């Protein structure tokens, strides 16, 4: 996600960041070319234009479909953000409970916090379909990292490690049973949020709605010049592209937000969220290490 100053209206107005999704400008230019071709054809084929009233009705229909697509996509985005907000809170809570109520040495408490951070990083990597996990290899021993990489579902392996340590604290009498139950409830929240994110990831917007919108938009924008030629003449290609840009951008944003866990400019900032959790629980920063590594590579 691209951070921005919400009150800097003029800067946002002219900033190119976040204003173009991949491929949108090419599509806008394509409809400009189509409009130009139709305008030139009108000079040789009289009465090629159509009534503007038809496109007023069609525009209302397209607006309704775009509104549905936008609302559906943003609901997925916001649900994903809500789930990750719960992951942040539950990560802090399970670590706080152990630190405050478990009579264990600091190394054991920190080991549990490490596994909580590993769970968070593994969840992010899993949602993004990434097999490489440098953050996890940095936090775990070689044997632990190898065992986790071999597991069919790394985040669940990390959750199992957290649960085993909580249970061991309770059995040893280091953590009261009721506080162990509280810690397990927070761990359940982590796993439930993981499942909620996977549900969003694996259940895209039904294909019928996506195809209806895409085909409706293409048909509308490709034939819109026919309704503009008689009214504005040579300005038809420019006006067509002005209409095409917001329509295509909204459609593209819907496609981006269908999977809010990716790397698109408007997706959730999962890397920053995971870095916040790591800094809160361990005092380290995965982002700082990545930047330092890039700087070192640049110097060499």
Other beta carbons within 10 Å of 56: 10
Please state, rounded to an integer, the average pLDDT across all residues of the chain.
85
Rounded to 10 degrees, the C-alpha dihedral 61/64/66/71 comes to -170
3 state DSSP class of 253? helix
- Residue-level pLDDT at 17: 59
Q: What is the model's pTM?
A: 0.83
- The per-residue pLDDT for 198 is 96
- Runs of H (alpha helix) within 174-235: 177-202, 207-232
Cβ(187)–Cβ(155) under 8 Å?
A: no
pLDDT for position 294: 43
- Given pLDDT bands bounded at 50, 70 and 90, which one contains residue 10? low
Q: Encode pLDDT of 65-99 as tens digits.
A: 888 888 999 999 999 999 999 999 999 999 999 99
Contact indicator for 48, 233 with CB cutoff of 8 Å: no
Place of tokens 């009108």: 42
User: CB atoms < 10 A from the CB of 84, how many?
Assistant: 25
* pLDDT for residue 293: 42
What are the tokens at 241?
């592209």
Domain range annotation of the chain: 22-299
pLDDT in tens, 39-64: 888 777 766 666 777 778 888 888 88
Give the tokens for residue 154.
């790394």
Share of residues in the chain with pLDDT > 70 (%) = 85
Task: Tell me the per-residue pLDDT of 93-129, one tens digit each, with 9 for 90 and over.
Answer: 999 999 999 999 999 999 999 999 999 999 999 999 9
What is the average per-residue pLDDT within 148-172? 94
* CA separation for the pair 50, 230 (Å, rounded): 9
Kindly tell me the burial class for residue 128, based on how many C-beta atoms sit within 10 Å of its own C-beta (0-12, 13-18, 19 or more).
middle
Nearest to 248 by CA among 282, 213, 277, 272: 213
Q: How confident is the model at residue 299 (pLDDT cuts 50, 70, 90)?
A: very low
Q: Encode pLDDT of 247-275 as tens digits.
A: 998 888 888 888 999 888 888 999 999 99
Q: What pLDDT score was predicted for residue 38?
A: 86
> CA of 7: how far to CAs of 10, 11, 19, in Å?
9, 9, 17
- The Cα–Cα gap between 249 and 16 comes to 13
Round to whole Å and give the CA distance between 87 and 89: 6
Q: What is the pLDDT of residues 221-250, one digit of tens each?
A: 998 888 888 788 889 999 999 999 989 988
Say which residue, 75 or 7, is predicted with more confidence: 75
């Amino acid at each position: 996600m691209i951070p921005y100053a919400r009150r800097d209206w003029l800067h946002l107005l002219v900033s190119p960041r976040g204003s173009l999704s991949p491929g949108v400008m090419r599509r806008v230019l394509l409809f400009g070319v189509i409009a130009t071709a139709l305008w030139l054809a009108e000079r040789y084929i009289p009465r090629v234009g159509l009534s503007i009233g038809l496109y007023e009705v069609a525009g209302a229909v397209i607006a309704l479909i775009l509104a549905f697509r936008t609302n559906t996509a943003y609901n997925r985005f916001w649900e994903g953000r809500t789930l990750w907000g719960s992951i942040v809170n539950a990560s802090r809570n399970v670590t706080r409970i152990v630190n405050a109520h478990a009579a264990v040495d600091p190394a054991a408490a920190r080991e549990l916090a490490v596994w909580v951070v590993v769970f968070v990083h593994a969840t992010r990597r899993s949602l993004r379909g990434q097999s490489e996990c440098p953050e996890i290899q940095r936090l775990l021993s070689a044997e632990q990292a190898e065992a986790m990489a071999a597991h069919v579902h790394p985040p669940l392996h990390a959750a199992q490690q957290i649960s085993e340590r909580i249970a061991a604290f309770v059995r040893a009498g280091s953590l009261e049973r009721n506080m162990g139950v509280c810690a397990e409830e927070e761990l359940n929240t982590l796993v439930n949020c993981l499942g909620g994110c996977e549900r969003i990831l694996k259940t895209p917007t039904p294909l019928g709605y996506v195809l209806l919108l895409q085909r409706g938009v293409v048909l509308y924008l490709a034939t819109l010049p026919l309704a503009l030629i008689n009214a504005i003449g040579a300005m038809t290609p420019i006006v067509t592209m002005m209409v095409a840009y917001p329509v295509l951008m909204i459609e593209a944003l819907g496609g981006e937000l269908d999977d809010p866990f990716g790397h698109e400019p408007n997706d959730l900032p999962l890397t920053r969220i995971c870095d916040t959790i790591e800094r809160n629980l361990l005092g380290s920063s995965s982002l700082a290490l990545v930047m330092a590594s890039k700087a070192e590579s640049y110097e060499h």
